[in-house]
Chains A and B, each alone.
Chain A
Amino acid sequence: MTEAIRFEKDSDNIVTLTIDLPGQSANIMNQTFNDAFKEIALRVEQEIDSISGIIIASAKKTFFAGGNLNDLIKVQPEHATEFFAEIQALKAPMRKLETLGKPVVAAINGAALGGGLEICLATHHRIAIDDNKTKLGLPEVTLGLLPGGGGVVRMVRMLGLEAAFKYLLEGKQVNPQAALKAGIIDELASDKQDMMDKARAWILANPKAVQPFDAKGYKMPGGTPQSPKVAQMLAIVPSILRKKTKGCYPAPEKIIAAAAEGALTDFDTACRIESRYFTELTTGQVSKNMIGTLWFQLNEIKAGGSRPDNIPKYTTKKVGVLGAGMMGAGIAYSSAIAGIEVVLKDVSQESADKGKEYTANLLKKKVGKKRMTQEKMDGILALITPTANAEDLNGCDLIIEAVFENRELKAKVTKEAEQFMDKEGVFASNTSTLPITGLAEASKNAEKFIGLHFFSPVDKMPLVEIIMGEKTNDETLARAFDYVLQTNKTPIVVNDSRGFFTSRTFGTYINEGLTMLAEGVHPQVIESAAAQAGMPVGPLAVQDEVSMNLSRKVITQTRQDIEAEGGSLPVDSAEELTNRMVDEFKRPGKSDGAGFYEYPAKGKKSLWPELAKQFTKDDVQLPFDDVKERLLFRMSLETLRCYEEKVLMSVRDANIGSIFGLGFAPWSGGAIQYVNQYGVRNFYNRAKQLTEQYGERFTPPKLLEAQAEKDQPFE
Chain B
Amino acid sequence: MSTDAFIFDAIRTPRGKGKKDGSLYEVKPVSLLVGLMKSLQERNNLDTSKVEDVVIGCVTPIGDQGCDIGKTAAMVADWDESVSAVQLNRFCASGLEAVNTAAMKVASGWEDLVVAGGVESMSRVPMGSDGGAWALDPASNFHTGFVPQGVGADLIATLEGFSRADVDAYAAESQRKAAAAQAEGRFDKSRIPVTDQNGVVILDHDEFIRGNTTAQGLAGLNPSFQMPGQMGFDDSAKLKYPQVEEINHIHTPGNSSGIVDGAALVLIGSKKAGEEQGLKPRARIVSVALTSTEPTIMLTGPAPAARKALAKANLNVEDIDIFEVNEAFASVVMKFQKEMNVPSEKINPNGGSIAMGHPLGATGAMIIGTCLDELERQNKRYGLATLCVGGGMGIATIIERV
Contacts and interface: CB of A to CB of B under 8 A. Distances in A.
A80 B28 contact: no
- 6 closest residue pairs by CB, A with B: A80-B198, A276-B196, A269-B26, A279-B198, A81-B200, A280-B197
B187 interface: no
22 contacts: A80-B199, A81-B198, A81-B199, A84-B198, A84-B200, A264-B64, A264-B124, A265-B20, A265-B25, A269-B20, A269-B26, A272-B26, A273-B26, A276-B196, A276-B197, A276-B198, A277-B197, A279-B198, A279-B200, A280-B197, A280-B198, A283-B198
Contacts of A266: 20
A226 interface: yes
Interface of A: 77, 80-81, 84, 226, 261, 264-266, 269, 272-273, 276-277, 279-280, 283
B132 interface: no
Nearest to A279: B198
Interface centre among B26, B124, B197 (most CB of A within 10 A): B26
Contacts of B25: 265, 269
A276 B20 CA distance: 18
Given A265-B25, A265-B26, 17 more contacts: A77-B199, A80-B198, A81-B200, A81-B201, A84-B196, A226-B63, A261-B28, A264-B124, A269-B25, A269-B26, A272-B26, A273-B26, A276-B197, A276-B198, A276-B200, A277-B197, A279-B200
A269 B196 CA distance: 13
Contacts of B64: 264
A279 B196 CA distance: 10
Interface in B189-205: 196-201
A239 to B, nearest CB: 16
A283 B196 CA distance: 13
A197 B242 CA distance: 77
A255 to B, nearest CB: 14
Interface residues of B, number: 13
A301 to B, nearest CB: 33
Nearest to A271: B26
A261 B199 CA distance: 19
Contacts of A261: 28
A84 B64 CA distance: 25
B294 to A, nearest CB: 38
Contact residues of B: prevailing secondary structure: loop
B233 to A, nearest CB: 30
B261 to A, nearest CB: 13
Contacts of A283: 198
Interface of B: 20, 25-26, 28, 63-64, 124, 196-201
Contacts of B200: 80-81, 84, 276, 279
Contacts of A226: 63
B78 to A, nearest CB: 15
Contacts of B28: 261
A269 B26 CA distance: 6
Nearest to A265: B26
A273 B202 CA distance: 11
A102 B125 CA distance: 35
Contacts of A80: 198-200
A565 to B, nearest CB: 54
A264 B26 CA distance: 9
Contacts of A273: 26
B379 to A, nearest CB: 38
A273 B200 CA distance: 12
A77 B63 CA distance: 32
B347 to A, nearest CB: 37
Nearest to A261: B28
A673 to B, nearest CB: 23
B335 to A, nearest CB: 39
Contacts of A279: 196, 198, 200
A473 B308 CA distance: 97
A80 B196 CA distance: 10
B198 A77 contact: yes
A554 to B, nearest CB: 46
Contacts of A277: 197
A558 to B, nearest CB: 47
Nearest to A226: B63
A650 to B, nearest CB: 34
A279 B199 CA distance: 11
A668 to B, nearest CB: 22
A261 B26 CA distance: 8
Nearest to B63: A226
B64 to A, nearest CB: 8
A650 B288 CA distance: 71
A300 B64 CA distance: 47
A273 B198 CA distance: 12
A165 to B, nearest CB: 20
A226 B66 CA distance: 12
A236 B26 CA distance: 24
Contacts of A276: 196-198, 200
Nearest to A276: B196
A272 B22 CA distance: 13
Nearest to B31: A261
Contacts of A77: 198-199
A266 B197 CA distance: 20
Contacts of A272: 26
Contacts of B26: 265, 269, 272-273
Contacts of A269: 20, 25-26
A50 B26 CA distance: 37
A273 B28 CA distance: 11
Contacts of B201: 81
A268 to B, nearest CB: 9
A265 B199 CA distance: 22
Contacts of B197: 276-277, 280
A83 to B, nearest CB: 8
Contacts of A81: 198-201
Contacts of A265: 20, 25-26
